[in-house]
Amino acid sequence: MYEKVPFFNPFHHFLRVVIVAKNETELEKWSGYVESRLRQLIKVFEQSFYGVHLRPLPGWIDFSYEDEVRDLEAQAGLAEGEDAVSKKMSWPFAGQVFFGLSFPKELYEKGSNVEMRDAVCKFVDIVEGQRPQDGTLLAGSCDMMITHCRRSDLPASIRSKYPELAELNA
């Protein structure tokens, strides 16, 4: 009766939110906490950029360090000499969520850069500023990374999970 609508088809750009934690309990709490604030991420973006829309892919997706070595080294701020294995040992539990980004063609020229840093920083400030003061979700026990990626740069684990991506790249 209902057909699943492919999420990745209409978008060429994505915002990726990766959360990491020291243990499974912290990841569960942290994902709930961050998820409850993702609506504010959409609001910040839509207020910061006229006509830009963010559409979330429902639910968290497992984050695979093995598939993400290149992305981690490029985007997650690995210290010099640190590798993905040591990063995984530091943050053994992780999840991610994606947002499709759409830019109105009449307002944003193809190939132009859109500086999203301020909007991302506002969202991070919201998340960090509202952390519970009861000793849960302490900085150092959980963290978050937000990056932009193009459809062509989506991780292998995502490409294999969503068949429409194979069709789009064929």
pLDDT digits (tens, 9 = 90+) for 102-114: 887 776 667 677 7
List of domains in the chain: 13-169 (3.30.70.590)
Which single residue is written with the structure tokens 């959409």? 42
The pLDDT tens digits of the residues spanning 80-126 come to: 555 555 555 677 888 999 999 988 777 666 767 778 889 999 999 88
CA 71 to CA 34: how far, in whole Å? 21
pTM: 0.79
Please report the pLDDT score of residue 2 as a whole number: 66
What number is the average pLDDT over the span 131-143? Answer: 70
Beta bridge partners of 98: 16
Cα 39 from chain centroid (whole Å): 13
Q: Taking CA 124 as the corner, what is the angle to CA 120 and CA 54, rounded to the nearest 5 degrees? A: 45
Return the SS3 of 36: coil
8 A C-beta contact, residue 71 and residue 80: no
